[in-house]
Chains A and B, each alone.
Chain A
Amino acid sequence: MFKTISRRAVLRGAGGVAIGLPFLEAMQPSRALAQTAAPPKRLVLWYSANGQMPQYWYPTGTETNFTLNTAHVPLQPYQSKLILFDGVNNDAGKDPVYGGHQGSFAAMTSGMPFTQPQSFNTMRPGGPSIDQLVAQKIGGATRIPLLPTGVVPPGSGDGNALQAIGSWLDQTQLIPPISQPSALFDYLFMNGTASGMPQNTMAADNLRALRKSILDSSLERFQTLRARVGTADKVRLDNHMAAIRQVETQVTAVQQQMACTIPTRPADNYSLLNSNIPNWAQVNLDLMILALGCDITRVVNWFWFAMGSGGVTFSWLGHTNTHHNLAHSSALKEMTEINTWFSTQLAYVMSGLDKYTDVGGGSMLDNTLILWWNELGNGSAHLSSRAPFVLAGGAGGALKMGRFLDYTSAPIENNQILLTVYNVLTGSQDTTYGSTKYCPGPAPGL
């Protein structure tokens, strides 16, 4: 069994120096203006596949006095920082035809019916995932507006690129998770620093100016060459240019030098074997927590394995069959163990965020809303009803946590929860989310 107790050890560098410091406290002297401001809000989208076993997932009790079910036992220490749901349907996920994993997946965080329904392999999202929408509003304050990461074993996307990607702007712009540990490290700590900049002010100014000059020139060249290519390739070049503009903003903005202690860079040949997933996950989870803690990003799309879990077998729990096959065979015991394991990981993230003191003195966890999503309700039957959303952490007081909202007598749509989440994180007053057809308004009572 995977031990949670020694996990902080990973945050120690090669010399054994603990780096789990209160980073934001260290930053505060340079953030005099921020002292009086409200703490920023953050979003972590948290995906796991293949649905759940309802009898071990849904709590019992009332809205405010409820008992967590088996799959959520590891989250008990944080019960007051959870919202669980029942009676949430993802009807966009079966529009216009049965969507299986793919259609439900594409609709679950976009709230839009999927496109290209002719085959499972062609299905694409009909609109942006919620992390992208939230990042467009609040991501610009940090170097990385949105961090797509997770644990995606090699080959998980074989057969369908969407299978290994949980973040997208539209049907052509899929943003894959960065899951190889050294690549994730390099993305977060550009040039080995949290800011991506040299310490010397003049060198940093020069580098910013040069980067701006180079990226602007590159964009001009893209624009010139764009005229030569066909329609489909224009879209690809446009996507590339949009990415350059985002990176240009990230690498040329004058930002606070963050007092963030950088861990040791993971090895390029870090083992991505199935049996090493618990260790690999710990490395990436620690990097993700650090990215939030160091304020390198405020929006994370965390992705476990693949839509349908790819070929992952929970061998570290003693399983010999794949997660996907177990879901199909309604293997109650194993499926519950799997979702319990995901809860353990989530509890770890919550405890990691809870250690950081946020702007204004509270816990960073209370300003970080984690949305656990899954493309299916009942995994074995591949249903998109009873979609298993869980909210964890907090939205800076904008959501009352510690509740179980049972909508089974009057089911609501996933869009309605997405609308509320979007509004509370971005300070918006939107009245609909995704496809209006599936969004009569914010989730009542949420």
Chain B
Amino acid sequence: MKMQRISVLAMSCLWAAGCTGMIGDGGPSALGTSSGGSAGGGAPAGGAAGGPTADSCSGPPGDVDETALRRLTNAEYINTVTDLLGDVSQLNLSFPVELTTEGFPFLDNAAAQETPPALVQQYLVAAEKIAADTVANRLSKVLTCDPVAAGEQACATTFISSFGAKAFRRPLDADQTQTLTSIWQVGRNQGNFNSGVQAVIAAVLQMPEFLYRFELSPAVGSQTVVPLDAWDMATHLSYLLWNSMPDDALFAAAQAGKLQTAADVSAQVMRMLNEPRAQQMVLRFHDEWLQLANIDTQEKDPNVFPAFSTAVATAMHQEVLALVNDIVFHGDGKVATLFTAPYTFMNDVLGQFYGVTGRTATFARVDQAMLGGRPASGILTAGGLLAANAHMDNTSPTKRGIFVREMLLCEQLPPPPPNANITPPVPKPNQTNREAMINHVANPVCASCHRMMDPVGFGFEGFDASGAWRTTDMGQPVDQSGMITGSDVAGSFNGPVELGTRLASSEEAMKCATTQWFRFAFGRDSGMSVGDTCALTQLHDALKQGGELALVRVLPQTATFLYRKVPQGGL
């Protein structure tokens, strides 16, 4: 399982400070100001963003795309069982590693979620361990009645009803109740009352209602676009903002019918955004988007980069998160700033590696002027990203170019032409990497793809393969001149700061960041429906005008979030 290293930053939650850039006409809550009336039987209102498209996107959408059925990610599984049953960190739970697909770096990509037998077995083992541990150590967390006083059957019924509803995130129907009751009976017959409880817990954790996020809001008549009911709403809000199941307050709101209007939803969103878990969500988005986990496993040739170490790699990962945290929660949260911020964050480990003195064990801001010539241009100059997109002993303009193109501009690079002989020329000694790569691209077959990637990457040649700043390469002054082609900010540039300026004004980059947020939030690519199109427009406008927190507040107002499409061949 991928481990996030965000807790070590021990950052305080400062949503309020990030609320300066409001969308539309502003106000204490973007959601609160958007309720233009709940059209159609208490359905939540759709569009809310300001701008020219607000009118066409407000009200119930004519159509939305089908939701992707998401299985809990490994992290969501652990978070959910922890919220449901208590601490399971001592139980040695292990799950197969999750995989991402081309251009879609997020772990909740429904289409890429495989469920091989090994995962099913680990679900079974985990469920048995967790159930046994809960009954042995924390039974009172889930069992609220006394089987002796209330009678075993009655107490079992109470337990199944309350625990089942929490675990399935919706009150049980008759079938579910009957299923769990018979499992309780099997367990009971093998031992005692608690054996039955243990059996029910083990069963619930392997049921599809627990492992998947089904949308069960009932369709009325021939309705094909269905507003989410309170239970689906609670679940979606919770996994979107907290990466876990709903808390008691959300369940209570759903039970009381207080998740039906835009104002109700808005109040919950604002409450939820003030929790540290929501801040971690924003950081996790960047962690997955920029593939920061790859930094952790970087190793460099010790003969060339003796100062690089695992501790440095770990600090570099934290550097990016600290910078993102500052921009989103203490700054303007704009995409442009991610590419241009003239400062970074360091601790003593990183200070020593970058050659910046006076650092302490705590990450603190270091401005451009203090960096000794190393340029600072937001995430573009983060050592970890430069090291992760390089070889062990040398830079890779190709990898760095691909990173910019695929992750920051959302381009899909085409494969080499059919039957190409894609053997690159053998490098000559004492060439700079740039010279070797230019020769490489002299081959017209190679050039067809590499001219899109390498010239962007050349702009980062001031950073060696370990992410450290350098002024010479093979004894020659570093040439940082780069070129970006086929984009809305095409043209030549010199070094990452100028590239950052270009990307900051790029509509393509803005749309890409919007796309990445959409994928992260909904576990799929956007579709062609008016609902998805409006969602993208609203998210884009919010991001452009108000920054990332404004986008986060708009996410639960989009038609994509608020409605479900009755799927082809489904209900």
Contacts and interface: CB of A to CB of B under 8 A. Distances in A.
Interface stretch (A52-60, A314-322, A348-356, A426-434): A314-322
B10 interface: no
Interface string B57-79: 00000000010110000000000
A160 interface: yes
A173 interface: yes
A158 B214 contact: no
Given A210-B199, A228-B570, A228-B571, A233 B69 contact: yes
A214 B115 contact: no
B121 A329 contact: no
A180 interface: yes
A217 B183 contact: yes
Interface string B287-311: 0000101101101010010000010
Interface in A134-181: 144-145, 148, 152-155, 157-161, 164-165, 173-176, 178-180
B120 A176 contact: no
Contact of A155 (B92, B203, B206, B297): B297
A313 B426 CA distance: 18
A239 to B, nearest CB: 6
A187 interface: yes
A281 B102 CA distance: 27
Chain B contact residues (Cβ within 8 angstroms of A): what range?
A: 35 or more
Contact of B121 (A152, A250, A382): A250
A262 to B, nearest CB: 14
A268 B78 CA distance: 15
Given A206-B190, A225-B209, A237-B208, A211 B97 contact: no
Contact of B116 (A148, A228, A229): A148
B122 interface: yes
A382 B422 contact: yes
Contacts of A155: 291, 293-294, 297
Contact of A273 (B94, B297, B422, B570): B297
Nearest to B180: A217
Contacts of A206: 190
A190 B121 contact: yes
A183 B567 contact: no
Interface in A387-421: none
A159 to B, nearest CB: 5
A76 interface: no
B203 A214 contact: yes
B207 A221 contact: yes
Interface stretch (A28-36, A64-72, A241-249): A241-249
Contacts of B176: 221
A161 B114 contact: yes
Contacts of B66: 230
A220 interface: yes
A175 B118 CA distance: 9
Contact of B203 (A158, A217, A225): A217
A87 B487 CA distance: 47
B90 to A, nearest CB: 11
B160 to A, nearest CB: 13
Contacts of B568: 230-231
A173 B299 CA distance: 33
B442 interface: no
Contact of B118 (A159, A187, A224): A187
A315 B114 CA distance: 32
B206 A214 contact: yes
Contact of B69 (A121, A164, A229): A229
Interface stretch (B105-113, B246-254, B330-338): B105-113
Contacts of A191: 125, 128
Contacts of A380: 423
Contact of B120 (A225, A243, A313): A243
Nearest to A244: B120
B277 interface: no
A236 B112 contact: no
Interface residues of A, number: 83
B297 A153 contact: yes
Interface in A232-291: 232-234, 236-237, 239-240, 243-244, 246-247, 250-251, 265, 268, 272-275
A190 B118 CA distance: 11
Contacts, number: 224
B142 interface: no
B115 A187 contact: no
A328 interface: yes
B209 A173 contact: no
B115 A239 contact: yes
A9 interface: no
Contacts of B414: 119
A305 to B, nearest CB: 13
Interface in B174-191: 175-176, 179, 182-183, 186-187, 190
B164 to A, nearest CB: 12
A213 B186 contact: yes
Contacts of B115: 236, 239-240, 243
A274 B418 CA distance: 32
B203 A243 contact: no
Contacts of A190: 121, 125
A315 B571 CA distance: 55
A222 interface: yes
Contacts of B571: 227-228
B485 interface: no
A163 B296 CA distance: 21
Contact of A322 (B2, B95, B128, B391): B391
B421 interface: yes
A381 interface: yes
A320 B299 CA distance: 10
A218 to B, nearest CB: 5
Contacts of A173: 114, 116
A357 interface: no
B88 interface: no
Nearest to B388: A155
Contacts of A145: 117
B208 A218 contact: yes
Interface string B75-105: 0000000000000000010111101111101
Contacts of A240: 115, 120, 208
A182 interface: yes
B116 A215 contact: no
A191 B122 CA distance: 10
A234 B569 contact: yes
A186 interface: yes
Nearest to A212: B186
B121 A187 contact: yes
Contact of B102 (A121, A211, A329): A121
A115 interface: no
Contacts of B97: 152, 154, 176, 179-180, 183
Contacts of A220: 179
A446 interface: no
A218 B415 contact: no
A218 B121 contact: no
Given A214-B183, A217-B182, A251-B121, A182 B422 contact: no
Contacts of B121: 187, 190, 247, 250-251
B37 to A, nearest CB: 31
A243 to B, nearest CB: 4
B293 A176 contact: no
Interface in A192-218: 206, 209-211, 213-215, 217-218
Given A236-B115, A251-B124, A381-B423, 14 more contacts: A98-B418, A120-B415, A121-B102, A148-B118, A159-B103, A214-B199, A217-B183, A229-B570, A236-B113, A237-B208, A240-B208, A246-B117, A265-B92, A320-B393
30 contacts: A148-B118, A154-B97, A158-B291, A159-B101, A160-B101, A176-B114, A183-B122, A191-B125, A191-B128, A206-B190, A213-B186, A215-B206, A218-B203, A225-B209, A225-B212, A227-B571, A230-B69, A231-B568, A234-B570, A237-B208, A240-B115, A243-B115, A247-B120, A268-B94, A273-B299, A273-B310, A313-B391, A320-B393, A322-B392, A381-B421
